Amino acid sequence: GENVEQHPSTLSVQEGDSAVIKCTYSDSASNYFPWYKQELGKGPQLIIDIRSNVGEKKDQRIAVTLNKTAKHFSLHITETQPEDSAVYFCAAMDSNYQLIWGAGTKLIIKP
């Protein structure tokens, strides 16, 4: 079955710098890859997603890239701000249309 690995588990960046979180997946049939942001005490919230027929997608300061050959996808956050501090989860949809989740990355924005 599908397996998703996420790195790093913790990422600390200076405010204003960029942050990159990477995920790899095992099932080449997976075709949908969302990213969720979870703030303390809240449920995860979808921030961006990408389908397998697209290599990159951007939404303001957030972008996701997908390399199907290498089976990895990444979240890029530019010009980081204090409100970007949260836990970020990647996921891949398997052949049963279930999301398989990475273990999460705690992003810390240093002032």
| Residue 49 contacts another protein per CB under 8 A | yes
Query: Least separation, in Å, of the C-beta of 13 and another protein?
Result: 22
| Residue 46 contacts another protein per CB under 8 A | yes
Indicate the SS3 state at residue 20: strand
- What is the residue-wise DSSP string for 43-110? --EEEEEEETT-SEEEETTEEEEEETTTTEEEEEE-S--GGG-EEEEEEEE-TTS-EEE---EEEEEE
Residue from 42, 53, 60, 69 in contact with another protein (CB under 8 A): 42
Query: Least separation, in Å, of the C-beta of 43 and another protein?
Result: 3
Residue from 21, 50, 85, 104 in contact with another protein (CB under 8 A): 104
Question: Are 4 and 101 contacting, i.e. CB atoms less than 8 angstroms apart?
Answer: yes
| Residue 22 contacts another protein per CB under 8 A | no
Half-sphere exposure of 35 (CA within 13 A, CB side): 28
| Residue 103 contacts another protein per CB under 8 A | yes
Binding stretches for another protein (CB under 8 A): 6, 32, 34, 36, 41-46, 49, 89, 93, 97-99, 101-104
